[in-house]
Amino acid sequence: MIFSRLSKNRKEAEGLRRLLVRTDERPLEYAVMGFQAACLILLSLKDGALDTFTLAMAFALPIGTFLGLKLIARFWPVDRQMYLLTMFLCSLSVILLRAVFKSTAKAETQALYLLPGFAALLIGIAVPRLFTGREVIIKLAMPLFAALMLLPFGFTTSSAARSWVRLGSMQFQPSELLKPALVLVLASGFSWERKLKGWIAYMIFGASLCAILLVQRDLGAMLLYFMLIMAMFTAGTGKWRLSLLAILIAAGLGVLFVSVSDRVEGFGYIATRIDIWKSPFSGKHEESRQIVQGLMSVSSGGLFGAGLGLSYARKVAVVGSDYIFAAVCEEFGMLFALAVILIYALLAVLGMRQAMNARSRFHALLAFGCAFEIFSQMLLIVSGNLNILPLTGVTLPFVSEGGSSLMGSMLMMGMMLGVSSINAQDEYDDLMRLTSGRGRGR
Amino acid sequence: MSPETYEKAAVLMRYPLAVAGLFIALRALYMTVKDGYRAGKLRQGELRYGAVAMLTVVPADKRGKAQKLPVGRNGCIGSSTRSDVRIKGMGLKSRHFDYEIRSSQMHISPVAADDLSLLGKRAGEEIRGTLVLSPGDKLLAGKAVISFQMLKLPKSSTSPMNSKVYSAKGKRE
């Protein structure tokens, strides 16, 4: 319709339509919906008697994916491919938790988390559309974010993990929720500040978060935060030599710390983890059981998997969050697992593309930071599951069990989608301007 | 369903589910690559729809994000939505200056701008009234360094829009 307005020549209108409209996402949409329905219908029959909750999810998830896309696309011209891939990964979480565990409790909880997760996605879309990065509120929010990170010290759980906050029956992990906040603050700081003294405040903010995580003994999250800060600093300022120097100093300090970690109270587990990583099958440490079982789980799936619900992945400790990738390999097989890794890589590529097409530095850095964070987190956890790197305890974005992880990931994906919608509108404005002779802007 | 029947069904479903996962990943890859080509063709398509030049906008401190914007024969450059070419965040006024491209040169008439200056080879040149830029000349407006290059029109252009001549106010003559 708009294409015929732009050109009366039918061939030209069709040509313009092809240029403006992206590749049809419907085959991808139907494939995702079909996959969700097929898996959950099969799983509803797993326990002999029909599981009504799983059967209900078999219809609710595909319909929710479809309606969610219609709702979002009604208001914003977001990148639909990114949304569909995200929904595929989110539904994979529910499917795996239902398949791996005999009880439906974990799958039900994760399915319920999808609702606030979708709300977080919508909030994330709104963020780049509302903020330009110059808002004082972003700077003023930095102490609040640091205070949130300190919450676990006041609300420690009974377990050794000091990065969780327990409020009654609920618990959440501030470090997961603060990742998108960190991306927002750093994007604001490095896009508008031009000099070193302007960047220092943001570097101090990032360093303080890393220090808090170190005290909380959440080294996986600390590593992710550090990598994100360095990446955004380099991308935002271009000072790659400074970044390289900081990384080398941090690496040196890290090696030194690891070598003396067994003498530092509360950090003795680091030396054990390194030892287990080097020789997981030696049997020297009780903790190596998790890694050995994880590796066996990965390998026993073969190319096509054991079959949905037929794996023994539940025998792996903390399989729902730390070893979910091993569960993917055992349930669905290596081919499917490679497809999942490819999907994460595509999400990163799409995020980087939005960053390169953004018309403002703030939006470019925002998209870059979110894409980098999601991809690096995936790399860390998959490497840990495959024993390429020591296990760090971070989660697989969208797929791992847990509300905090899902909220944080959905917020970041929402911000990337928000930037994509701004880029699409700018592109449309370009062409409208060219064809009508007057700009319409936004 | 008995456990044995479920087991047979689950084992059989391994293959279609793996294929579904691969299809989703490969279809997404195909879409990503194709949309990348589309963006390149969009640039070529812009020629058929009235773009005559490519404006390059670089932040003056060289630490920002450069942009390349296709532009038509004439319009207004500024920071607001009322401008034809909107350049945000580089210190431009809402409607900074008007431009018109004639005979491969850009004629600039300041609207609200009082800070235009030339850089490079023409640095120090006094600006009075209308300024004429050739491709490659650099103009400092606000905190943006603006230059332009003419786009090469395709030899056989069937678009009627390429034959239209617009006045400075955007009306067809």
Domain ranges of chain B: 1-49, 53-152
Report residue B89's pLDDT band, with 50, 70 and 90 as the boundaries: confident
Contacts of B64 in chain A (CB under 8 A): 361
Say if CB A374 and CB A344 are below 8 A apart.
yes
Reported pTM: 0.81
- Let me know: does B131 contact B106? Beta carbons within 8 Å: no
- To which residue do tokens 């390194």 refer? A274
Closest to A323 measured CA to CA, from A290, A345, A282, A300: A290
Per the DSSP assignment, residues forming a β-bridge with B117 are: B140
CA A204 – CA A261 distance, rounded (Å): 25
B53 pairs with which residues across the strands?
B71, B150
DSSP characters for A93-111?
HHHHHHHH-SSSHHHHHHH
What dihedral angle (degrees, nearest 10) is formed by the CA atoms of A251, A253, A254, A259? 130
Quote the ipTM score: 0.87
In the block, residue with structure tokens 């965040």: B89
Q: Chain A window 220-259: which residues touch B at a Cβ cutoff of 8 Å? A: 237-238
> Tokens 């809402």 label which residue?
B94
pLDDT band at A17 (very low <50, low <70, confident <90, very high): low
Per the CB < 8 Å rule, is B170 touching A27? no
Alpha carbon distances (Å) from A97 to A92, A118, A221, B16: 9, 19, 23, 20
| Cα–Cα nearest to A146, from A88, A200, A211, A191 | A211
Could you tell me how many helices (H) and strands (E) chain A has, helices first? Answer: 17, 2
pLDDT confidence tier of residue A439, bands split at 50, 70 and 90: very low
Confidence (pLDDT) at B90: 82
* Higher-confidence position of B166 and A409: A409
- What confidence tens digit (pLDDT) does each residue in B96-149 have? 888 888 888 888 888 777 788 888 877 877 777 788 888 888 888 888 888 888
Name the A residues in 330-389 with CB < 8 Å from any B CB.
332-333, 335-336, 338-340, 342-343, 346, 349-350, 353, 357-361, 364
Residue A107: what residue type?
A
| Chain A residues inside the 8 Å CB shell of B40 | none
> What letter would DSSP give residue B99?
E
Does residue B27 or residue A434 have the better pLDDT?
B27
Q: Which residue has the higher pLDDT, B152 or A334?
A: A334
For residue B9, is pLDDT > 60? yes
End-to-end CA distance of chain B, in Å?
Answer: 78
How confident is residue A300, by pLDDT bands cut at 50, 70 and 90? very high
Looking at residue B124, its pLDDT comes to 76
Q: Up-side HSE of residue A261: CA atoms within 13 Å toward CB?
A: 21
Residue B134 one-letter amino acid: S
* Beta strands at B85-86 and B74-78: parallel, antiparallel or unpaired: parallel
**So what's the pLDDT on residue A320?**
87
Strands A170-172 and A165-167: antiparallel
**pLDDT reading at A21 higher than 90:** no
pLDDT at A187: 92
What is residue B122's DSSP assignment?
G
**Residue-averaged pLDDT of chain A:** 85
Residue-wise pLDDT for A206-263, tens only, equals: 888 888 888 888 888 899 999 999 999 999 888 889 889 999 999 998 888 888 877 7
What are the two backbone dihedrals, phi and then psi, of residue A66, each rounded to the nearest 5 degrees? -65, -50
Whether residues B81 and A439 touch (CB distance < 8 A) is answered with yes
Confidence of residue B161 (pLDDT cuts 50, 70, 90): very low
Which residues lie across from B108 on neighbouring strands? B99, B131
Which residue from B14, B31, B46 is facing A307, i.e. has the nearest CB?
B14
pLDDT at A12 > cutoff 70: no
Mutation for testing the A interface, residue in B4, B24, B92, B163 having most A CBs under 10 Å: B24
**Which of A23, A350, A433 is the closest to B84 by Cβ?**
A433
CA torsion A39-A42-A48-A53 (nearest 10°) is 50
Please report, to the nearest 10 degrees, the dihedral formed by the alpha carbons of residues A238, A409, A65, A425 taken in order.
Answer: -30
- Average pLDDT for residues A43-51, to the nearest whole number? 88
CATH of domain B53-152: 2.60.200.20
Report the alpha-carbon angle A414-A69-A441, nearest 5. 65
Residue-level length of chain A: 442
CA atoms within 13 A on the CB side of A221: 28
